Homo-oligomer: A and B are copies of this chain.
Amino acid sequence: MTAANVTRLGVIGAGRIGKLHAENIALRLPEAEVAAIADVDLAAAQAAAARLRISRAVADYRHLLDDPALEAVVICSSTDTHAAIACEAAAAGKHIFCEKPIDLSLERIDQVLAAVGQAGVHFQVGFNRRFDPNFAQVRRMVAEGKIGAPHLLRITSRDPAPPPLAYVRVSGGIFLDMTIHDFDMARFLMGSDVTEVYAAGSVLVDPEIGAAGDLDTVVVTLRFANGALGVIDNSRQAVYGYDQRVEVFGAGGMVAVANNTPDAHVYSNAEGVHSAKPLYFFLERYTESYINEMRAFLAAVRAGTTPPVTGRDGRQAVVVGLAARRSYQAGRPVKLSEIQA
């Protein structure tokens, strides 16, 4: 790949996810190059730059927006800054890969979508799970009609351990920090929009989570535009590790995927038959999906096609999350039209 063929990107944010994307681009995606990395903590940006041989590290992301050599930016800063940076980046004519959620406010999301639309730049939201080989295969089979019309969706999504309470207090709550991934997965797998949500929840893992105003165990029922039903169950703590399973059932059959494990050994002894726990958490489980989503973004940018996770996708997941939160608070099912109005 000659230098002329390489897409130059700037990464904004050198935290966990920013470093992950920077490393994937630098080491695994020869079609692109991280030309610069920005972080309000300049030392963090510099450390990542040194490790990944990125030539430029800055504190202020605006330097990246001003750099005519950059075609696109990857926004990995803190959630509350996504919208503003995305609007500026769009105005600067940069294509945008934006981590999820775009924002927790629909108003601000709409500002971003408007800015992106006016600027005519590509915009992709970081719902990486769509690019997991297992879930992508499920979607492919559903889309191909292998199960006929979808009737029921089941998603189990359980974290190995709760996040820090400090995070819980500002995250917007479980429906917006955790279930939001499943809401996007639900729309993706079913190929249909959610129209109504009913959310039940409990505090069973840790009373401190309840004291912080949040839930740790939820069951969410979804109704889709095509009449199908779905259900998501979440727990903030599965002692056996990250539990990520989906199943789509339809008129002609069912397709499901189980958890990924670090290896496939089966050990039999006098006590029973034993195998490996699921991969520990999202960095291990979704390794490949992060590479795939960035590859897809780059391909869309280079081909001038619509990225596979659109701004509307990013918005809809938040709408479902807001509906779920309201449903739990009101103790009744909530139509998405109540939220979007």
Contact = CB atoms under 8 A, between A and B. Distances in A.
Interface of A: 1, 27-28, 30, 51, 133-134, 137-138, 141, 146-147, 149, 151-152, 154, 156, 158, 198, 200-205, 217-219, 221, 223, 227-231, 233, 235, 237-240, 243, 249, 251-260, 262-277, 331-333
23 contacts: A27-B28, A134-B263, A134-B265, A141-B265, A146-B267, A146-B269, A149-B204, A151-B217, A154-B154, A154-B156, A202-B223, A205-B251, A217-B228, A217-B229, A219-B229, A219-B231, A235-B249, A237-B251, A240-B268, A255-B265, A256-B268, A257-B266, A272-B275
A147 to B, nearest CB: 8
A18 to B, nearest CB: 18
Given A202-B229, A218-B229, A228-B202, A263 B257 contact: yes
A257 B251 contact: no
Contacts of A203: 227
A167 B12 CA distance: 52
Contacts of A253: 239-240, 267-270
A198 B333 CA distance: 9
Copies of this protein, total: 4
Contacts of A152: 217, 219, 233, 235
Given A141-B265, A268-B254, A198 B221 contact: yes
A28 B28 CA distance: 7
A156 to B, nearest CB: 7
B227 A202 contact: yes
Most buried by B among A205, A258, A272: A272
